[in-house]
Amino acid sequence: MANSISIGIDAHAGKNCVFALDRDTGEALEATLSGDPAELVRWIGENGLSGGTCCYEAGPTGFGLARALRAAGIACVVAATSKLPRRSDRRKNDRIDAEWLARMHAAGSVRAVRVPTEREESLCHLSRLRGEVARDLRAARQRVASFLLLTGTRYTLTKKRWTKTFRRWAESHEFAQPADTFVFRQKLAAVYRLEERLAEVEAEILRAVASSPELAGRMARLSCIHGIGRVAAFSLVCEVHDFGRFRNGSAFASYIGLVPSESSTGCRTRRGGVSKTGNSHLRRILVEAASAYARPFRPARPEDGSVPELVRARAAKCAGRLRRRREHLAGRGVAANKVKVAVARELCEWIWWIAVMPA
């Protein structure tokens, strides 16, 4: 029967290797096609496989293929790569990979990821661009600090770098060697260019939020949480979109990769560091947000009238709870990084709870 057919696809930009397996009869059919989704749809129709289910791994090719297949009336699931069974063989071959995916799907061993709409995916691209530019900016600033260390130059005017005072000093500082001065100015200019790029990306994020009241309303909820600013709220909404697809906050934390890894057997229970599977972009954002609980709380932000009072009260309770949690762990002598990750783990629970609360 058509609905017993599993179609594994090893998708690339230039070609698609396809392996179709009939679970009832064991019959198999394979082909190597171009990367054009229309050719794949045509091949499936010509071979009477339209009632089957396609499966390919989430990867750099994105979700365009899944949307094209669904638009043609063909079922398609995108497999979560981190949730697939570990392969015992060491053979990397497109045809073998397509067959393996088809057999894993036939066995029910594929965990599907949510396929976003084109609008949702474009907002994710914007969110991740901001993360990329911020990461480049941190690296550029580190190169400036490393060069000062390399040349034995000490800055003592202020405790922190990248203040107005530091910038004035850096722009006027002359090294003994003219080449060093040139190199330092170039590194400094790279920082300034990246700061301008970051400002442009954040301005575009604000324009995207202003054009979507629904997006702004969901962000306003999350922005009530201490440590979650506009950028973090934007990333959470764009990456997750539907928090209701998680059964509870623990499932959301698992999606982020902030749950403990485990290696237990028999009477022995052994848990290790966090699993670090799933969405690394959000994991970094939430760990950074958790670091806000180590600093003195600033005055509360003006209350947003569009956010229900119950949600604001829950966010205030979250702030108090996580502050006490951090102080308790730090008082026990737990390492600072472990404390931060533990707070981020519990922060996931509160984010999920606040996101799914009725209006």
Question: pLDDT value at position 297?
Answer: 72
Question: pLDDT value at position 215?
Answer: 92
Between 3.30.420.430, 3.10.300.10, 3.40.50.300, 3.30.450.20, what CATH number should domain 2-113 receive? Answer: 3.30.420.430
Along the 359 residues of the chain, how does pLDDT read in single tens digits? 457 899 999 988 788 999 999 988 889 999 999 989 999 999 999 999 988 999 999 888 889 999 999 999 999 999 988 788 888 777 778 889 999 999 999 999 999 989 999 999 999 999 999 999 999 999 999 999 999 999 999 999 998 899 999 999 999 999 999 999 999 999 999 999 999 999 999 999 999 999 999 999 999 999 999 999 989 999 999 999 889 999 999 999 998 989 888 777 777 777 778 888 888 899 999 999 999 998 877 655 556 667 888 888 999 999 999 999 999 999 999 999 999 999 999 999 999 999 998 86
Q: What are phi and psi of 275, to 5 degrees?
A: -70, -30
Copy the structure tokens of residue 39: 């050719």
Sign of CA dihedral 237, 243, 248, 254: negative
Question: pLDDT value at position 1?
Answer: 43
Residue 283 and residue 257 in contact, taking contact as beta carbons nearer than 8 Å: yes
Q: Where are the domains of the chain?
A: 2-113, 118-211, 238-356
Question: pLDDT value at position 335?
Answer: 93
Secondary structure (DSSP) of 160-222: SSSSHHHHHHHHH---SSHHHHHHHHHHHHHHHHHHHHHHHHHHHHHHHHHT-HHHHHHHHHH
Residue 297 and residue 323 in contact, taking contact as beta carbons nearer than 8 Å: yes
Query: Cα 284 to chain center, whole Å?
Result: 8
Question: pLDDT value at position 298?
Answer: 64
286 closest CA partner among 249, 320, 313: 249
pTM of the model: 0.83
Copy the structure tokens of residue 203: 């301005």
